[in-house]
């Protein structure tokens, strides 16, 4: 069982880490667009922004519906990042207990 479970847990941890970086990139890109530093009329900027939006929005939308409206401040990426870190810690403890990582 360790032969399958060990690599599977590593892949899940790696996927969660990549998703964390996508959330950070999406938040930074939204700030750069909001402050007019980058322009979405550039095709590459639009494609990257659209990809990051489509990847992160399905998990951010339910969090935004629960959080109170704070005006222009969006705390949903922070809440999602905290949730992912919590999930990574739970997975690490499960792996340590059952596999011995």
The tokens describing 46, both together, are 């639009």
Domain presence at residue 7: no
Domain presence at residue 4: no
Q: How many domains does the chain fold into?
A: 1
pLDDT band at 73 (very low <50, low <70, confident <90, very high): confident
Q: What is the pTM of this model?
A: 0.88
Domain housing 72: 12-98
Mean pLDDT of the 33-54 span: 94
Domain presence at residue 1: no
Tell me, what's the pLDDT at 1?
61
Tell me, what's the pLDDT at 43?
95
Domain presence at residue 87: yes
């Amino acid at each position: 069982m360790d032969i399958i479970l060990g690599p599977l847990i590593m892949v899940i941890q790696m996927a969660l880490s990549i998703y964390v970086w996508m959330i950070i990139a999406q938040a930074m890109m939204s700030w750069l667009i909001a402050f007019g530093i980058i322009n979405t009329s550039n095709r590459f900027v639009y494609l990257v922004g659209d990809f990051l939006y489509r990847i992160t929005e399905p998990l951010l939308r339910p969090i935004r519906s629960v959080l109170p409206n704070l005006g222009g401040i969006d705390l949903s990426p922070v809440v999602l990042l905290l949730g992912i870190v919590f999930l990574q810690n739970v997975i690490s403890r499960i792996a340590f207990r059952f596999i011995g990582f």
